[in-house]
Amino acid sequence: MRRIRTITAMALLVTLFLIFFYSTLHLETTYSHKAGPEDVLRRPRLPVHSDGDVKTQSSKQESDAAPHPVVHNVSVSDSFRQIISQNRAYWNRLLYSALRNLNKRGNTVSNSNWSRCRETNQELLQTNVHDFTSYPVLFQDFLQVMNCRSPPVLINQPDKCVSTKGDNHTVLLFAIKSTPGNFERRQAVRETWGQEGVYQGGLRVHTLFLLGSSQLDDPNLNPLLAFEARRFGDLLQWDFHESLLNLTLKMNMFLQWTLRRCPHVSFVFSGDDDVFVNTPALLSYLQSLEPSKASKLYVGHVISTANPLRDPKSKYYIPLSFYDGPYPAYAGGGGFLISGALLQPLYSVSHVIPFFPIDDVYTGMCTNAMGVSPEAHAGFQTFDVKEQDRENLCVHKDLILIHQRSPQQVKKLWRGIHSPLLSC
C-alpha cells in the first residue's frame, strides 16, 4: 500500500512539472513570436516599470504608486475674458460654455475616459461647425479628440526625479518634445546641453523626451524605443499619434506626469529637440532670480500681437469658424521656461480651457487665464539670430536658446562655446 501511495505521489509531481513546463514554454512562445499584420496594426503597448525595463503589460502596482494630480478649483482672470471674445466660433462657444459651468458649479470638469472620449457623431460636429467638412483631415481629427485627455502610458520613467544619493530635489527639468524617429536629435541633446547631473552650485538637472506613437503607415520603432528607454532612461511615451495638433495633449500629459513623479521641481524648460540651449547660461539666469520672480516665471521669446493664420496651406492654419479673435501673448514653443510652482494651477485651468490645436498658444491662454503674463528675454532666440552671426561663437555664448539647429550644428556649437581657446 505504501508503495502504491509513493508511486501515486511521484506521478502527481511529474504531472505538475509537465504542466508548469508546458505553460512556461507556451508563455515564451507567445511573447517571442514573429510579428504579423495584426500585431503591426495593434502597435503593442510597451510600458516601463520602475526599474526602467519595458514590459508587455501595465503594472497596477506602478500605476497606483503615486496619486493622480488633483484638479483644484479655478478662477479665470478678467483680462482673459476680455481678450477672448464671446462670439459664434466653435472654440469660443466651448470656452464660454465651460466658464458658465465653472461659475455655476465652482469646480472643473473631470478627465474623459480614453476609450470613449472620441466624438464619432459626425452630425453633431457638422451641426456645430457648419463648414466642418472643409477642414483639413488633421484638423477634423483634432475636433473629434478635443476631449481626450488620458491616453495610456507606453513608456514611463517613474523614478526619474529620485536620486540614489538621497537628494531628490530637481532644480531644472528639460522637457523636450520629440518624435519616435528623431533618435539622432535626442542623442545630440544627451551629449551636449541636455546632460543630466549635478551642475555647479549643486543644481540638479534631469532630461525627458516626450513622445507620442508612430502613425500606422510609419515603420514600427517600438523595439528600438524600448532599447533606447532602457539604455538612457529618459523617454516618456503615450499612446496617441504624433501630430502637430496633438502637441497640446502631449504638454498636458507631461504636466500630469510631473505633478505625480516630480512634484517639487523648481523649473521646467519646455522645448523642441532641434534647439540649442546654453545650459550654463540658463542655470546662471535661474540663480540670479529673486524668489518672488522665480515662483511665477514664464519666460522666453514672447509673441505679443499674434493673430490666427487663415491660410489653409499653413501648418498653423486656424479656420475662422473654429476660433475668432487675437491670441493672448505667449512664449514661443521652441523653448521657454516656467516655474514649477505654476504647474499645478496650469494643469487645473487646462481642465476649463478647451484644448487648442497650437500648443504654445494654448499655454499662453492658460497662463493668461491664471493672471500670469509671459516675460520676454533677449537670450531666447526662437526665430534665430541674424544670418551674419550664425557662425559667431561669442554671440551664442551670451544667449540661452537658439532655434533651429541640426544635430551636427548642436555638437559643433557646444564644443565651440566651451573651448578654452575661445576669447570673447
For 153-417, CATH number? 3.90.550.50
What is the mean predicted confidence (pLDDT) over 286-307? 95
Report how far residue 337's alpha carbon sits from residue 355's, in angstroms, rounded to the nearest whole number. Answer: 21
Number of H helices, E strands in the chain: 16, 12
Work out the number of other CB atoms within 10 angstroms of the CB of residue 275: 23
Would you put residue 281 in left (φ > 0), alpha (ψ -120 to 50) or beta?
alpha
Whether a cis peptide bond, with omega within 30° of 0, leads into 200 is: no
| Nearest CA-CA partner of 181 in 206, 208, 218 | 218
The reported pTM is 0.84
Mean pLDDT of all residues belonging to the chain: 85
Q: What is the pLDDT of residue 79?
A: 95
pLDDT over 50 at 17, yes or no:
no
Tell me the pLDDT tens digit for each residue of 207-220: 999 999 998 889 99
Measure the CA–CA gap between 187 and 167, rounded to whole angstroms: 26
3-state secondary structure of 115: helix
pLDDT tens-digit map of 19-69: 333 333 332 322 233 333 222 222 233 333 333 344 333 333 344 445 678
Q: What is the pLDDT, as a whole number, of residue 406?
A: 96
pLDDT of residue 72: 82
- What is the rounded average pLDDT of the residues 245-266? 96
pLDDT bucket at 106, cuts 50 / 70 / 90:
low
pLDDT at 104: 76
Q: Give pLDDT, residue 112.
A: 60
The residue-averaged pLDDT of 87-114 equals 81
Per-residue pLDDT reduced to its tens digit, 317-357 = 999 999 999 999 999 999 999 999 999 999 999 999 999 99
